[in-house]
């Protein structure tokens, strides 16, 4: 069987193209995140993969949960995915859509994991440095991990900068083991 992301890609691209033509990238993003979260729930997953549950029952369930938050386009997407037995792909479709959206908007989500809380000034400096290096607007998320001892790890797309004490000790250990 093909990898999920390979099968999900044409759906995500079609949705992105539609959303861009409608000028509704944010609205589609919000709706896709919601429907993907619903589909990823373990209880809903059991229903999706249960051959005894009919497509119309799944459609009713998802539309009842989403209610008015699902525009007609999202409702149609749900129907198409059910008919093609691709409902399990919703999380991958949503993730790929977010990737296409970030590419179009020239934005990037970055994560800073540090041993201590990062001040607002430090966050601004990190975001500015990443913007200069990557040429994109940066949206920063910060987390604290006491196991790092000191320093921080920055992840932005494929870029990983490990400036943590724990990471430096691991490099030193590896060098000494050679």
pLDDT of 11-23, one tens digit each?
Answer: 999 999 999 999 9
CA distance linking residue 29 with residue 99, whole number of Å: 11
Confidence (pLDDT) at 95: 92
Tell me which CATH code domain 107-177 carries: 3.40.30
- Inform me whether the pLDDT recorded for 173 exceeds 70: yes
CA distance linking residue 106 with residue 152, whole number of Å: 25
| Tokens coding 79 | 């129907």
Q: Is 120 helix (H, G, I), strand (E, B) or coil?
A: helix
Q: What is the DSSP string of 22-45?
A: HT-HHHHHHHHHHHHHHHHSHHHH
Strand-pairing partners, residue 112, are 142, 154
CA-to-CA dists, residue 35 to 74, 77, 101, angstroms: 9, 10, 17
CA distance linking residue 8 with residue 173, whole number of Å: 42
For domain 4-103, give its CATH number from 1.10.10.10, 3.40.50.300, 1.10.520.20, 2.40.50.140: 1.10.520.20
- Inform me whether the pLDDT recorded for 1 exceeds 70: no
Is the pTM higher than 0.85? The answer reads no
| Residue ranges of the chain assigned to CATH 3.40.30 | 107-177
């Amino acid at each position: 069987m093909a990898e999920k992301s390979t099968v999900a890609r044409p759906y995500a691209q079609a949705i992105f193209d539609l959303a861009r033509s409608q000028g509704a990238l944010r609205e589609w993003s919000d709706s896709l995140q919601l429907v993907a979260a619903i589909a990823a729930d373990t209880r809903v997953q059991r229903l999706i993969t249960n051959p005894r549950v009919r497509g119309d029952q799944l459609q009713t369930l998802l539309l009842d949960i989403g209610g008015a938050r699902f525009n007609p386009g999202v409702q149609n997407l749900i129907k198409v995915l059910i008919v093609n037995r691709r409902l399990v792909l919703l999380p991958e479709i949503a993730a790929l859509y977010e990737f296409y959206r970030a590419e179009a908007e020239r934005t990037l989500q970055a994560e800073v994991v540090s041993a201590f809380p990062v001040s607002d000034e430090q966050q601004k400096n990190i975001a500015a440095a990443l913007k200069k290096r990557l040429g994109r607007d940066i949206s920063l998320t910060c987390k604290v991990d006491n196991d790092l001892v000191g320093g921080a790890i920055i992840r932005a797309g494929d870029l990983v900068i490990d400036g943590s004490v724990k990471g430096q000790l691991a490099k030193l250990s590896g060098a000494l083991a050679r």
